[in-house]
Structure 1
Amino acid sequence: MTVIDAPTTDRYPTRIADRPSLIERTDPTVWGGHHTPGPLSTDELAVHDRDGFITVPELLTPDEVAVYQAELDRLATDPQVRADERTIIEKTSQQVRSVFEVHKISEAVAALVADERVAGRARQILGSDVYIHQSRINYKPGFGGGGFYWHSDFETWHAEDGMPLPRAVSISIALTENYLHNGCLMIMPGSHRTFVSCVGETPADHYKESLREQEIGTPDPESLTTLADRHGIAMLTGKAGSATLFDSNCMHGSGNNITPYPRSNIFVVFNSVENGLQEPYAAPAPRPPYIAAREITPVRG
């Protein structure tokens, strides 16, 4: 499928200045409007527009959760999957941290991401057909699951992948219960309306380190404090089978999991077919396609 032309002016410059800055967003969050038909109600679309995220308490049934939990266990213990370049290993525990492009590895996950309950919500929010920019399984085992420092996904996808605009939405589907104490997702509600331009030149092959522990592309403490003071911090908990959809520019992160209780999820990023990747805006070369798909193949149910 043909990629559209990128905006002629970069409205979200990052990693090019010696000082961070806050850039107010001019692009929509709900691209199709609040009355676009689909699985989300008008009120839910309005909440997503306001906060940058929406929760779905029971996206999967208990039987479906059991199926996907078994699939996660299978992938984590498969020697071929562990040896695959798409699998990221924890720096300290040497346990599996993430498996990327999982919809191409697992038929079960492929069926889930194409499900109307999942892809249908993404189409509704983005106001167009969608394709999978990235998919992965995240494992956060008890006693050592590493956290993710505060960041905007769009900052990375813009700088390192060449995503022109924040016309992408992520869905995190919980396969274990998310407690306050086991490294739950934290989001600053409303932060999606402000882009944090970061400092630091992107090294070659930066993804090899950033997928385990990101440093370049993380916001400075002053910018984070400004956003936290302005918006507060929401801690997202929920039972296995619940889900959160959040805008690509939400400021979010999660802490380490030092409890006995694992926190695992299926994570899928949908990008609009009208927002295909260009050359990276602030990196020497694009990241591999298993991290950032450059072929636009619309998701079909």
Structure 2
Amino acid sequence: MKLTAAQLQEFNDNGFLVVRDIFTAEEVDALRAESVAIFEHERSEVWREKNGAPRTAFGCHEYNELFRSLTRDSRLVIPVEQIIGEKLYIHQFKVNPKVAFDGDPFPWHQDFVTWHYDDGMPEPRGMNIAIMLDDVTPNNGALMFVPGSHGEGMIEAPDVNGRRWMERRDVARLIKKSSDIVAASGKAGDVLMFHGNTVHGSAGNITPLPRRILYVTYNAVSNYLREPKRASFIAHRTFEPVDTVVGQVLHAVS
């Protein structure tokens, strides 16, 4: 899958892009089932909310064959290579379920500030790509973006208990009216791409509707991590280029 000129322009202008109808219903069903099952395990890579609800499962592509094949899917890799302009490796893989009733918010932040200071990533040449496994709306915790904020470059954010949420004065400088925020809504099977410097966050999910999303973060091979501080299941130390596979993700494991 290659992005069109119009899609590339939209990404360059806004710092994020939703691409519709990428994964089939069958693929989504399989990925959704694995995303639920992964939280049945008690592992250091599986993090939970304060009340015990699932929050994030990191690095599960390293022990789950379906997720491993997903990271190599050409529908994800090729568009990112288009934008980055070179071969990629997998910086991070995670499942964020934002479970019904109990999914906590993620405050405003840029990902690259953490990648840079805590992972040793030199330049903002990493890219998040998210696969929606449920219909995602502003009601159940869609990611909210400040369009064009990637043009600000990296905005300094202090390390507070291991997280680098943006300071309120910087958020207020960027968001002055409601139209400065866009929710990245989509249907199950859609894909969301966003730049490492695009300011984003998400509200909690107080609805009975789950909002499961898989995230793969790719990074340019030449932009490999220098001195990572976070655990290897969060910031991977394997920098070999992704071996791309074309075709349905289910066929790769059949």
What is the aligned counterpart of 2:151 among 190, 193, 212?
A: 193
Match of 2:171 in 1: 224
What is the aligned counterpart of 2:43 among 66, 75, 84?
A: 84
What is the CA-CA distance between 1:42 and the residue it aligns to? 1.5
Pairwise mapping of residues 15-164 of structure 1 onto structure 2 (< 5 A)?
39-77=2-40, 81=41, 83-91=42-50, 93-164=51-122
TM value normalised by structure 2: 0.91
| Distance in 2 of aligned mates of 1:54 and 1:184 | 14
Match of 1:300 in 2: 243
The answer to whether the 8 Å contact 1:137/1:267 transfers is yes
Provide the aligned length of Structure 1 versus Structure 2.
243
The one-letter amino acid paired with 2:194 is: F
Unaligned 5+ residue runs, structure 2? 245-254
| Distance in 2 of aligned mates of 1:223 and 1:73 | 36
The answer to whether the 8 Å contact 2:126/2:196 transfers is yes
| Distance in 2 of aligned mates of 1:299 and 1:196 | 27
What is the aligned counterpart of 1:254 among 202, 211, 216?
A: 202
Give the share of equivalent positions with the same residue, in percent. Answer: 35
**More helix by proportion, 1 or 2?**
2
Of the two, which has the highest radius of gyration? 1
The one-letter amino acid paired with 1:89 is: R
Unaligned 5+ residue runs, structure 1? 1-37, 281-285
Q: Name segments (4+ residues, structure 1) moved above 3 Å.
A: none
Aligned pair in 2 of structure 1 residues 98, 199: CA closer, same or farther (>3 Å)? closer
Pairwise mapping of residues 201-280 of structure 1 onto structure 2 (< 5 A)?
202=159, 206=161, 210=162, 214=163, 217-229=164-176, 232-279=180-227
| Distance in 1 of aligned mates of 2:100 and 2:192 | 22
| Distance in 2 of aligned mates of 1:105 and 1:43 | 37
The answer to whether the 8 Å contact 1:192/1:249 transfers is yes
What is the CA-CA distance between 1:111 and the residue it aligns to? 1.0
The one-letter amino acid paired with 2:22 is: L
1:119-157 deviation line (CA, Å, top 9, x unaligned): 111111110000000001111111111111000000111
| Distance in 2 of aligned mates of 1:196 and 1:248 | 9
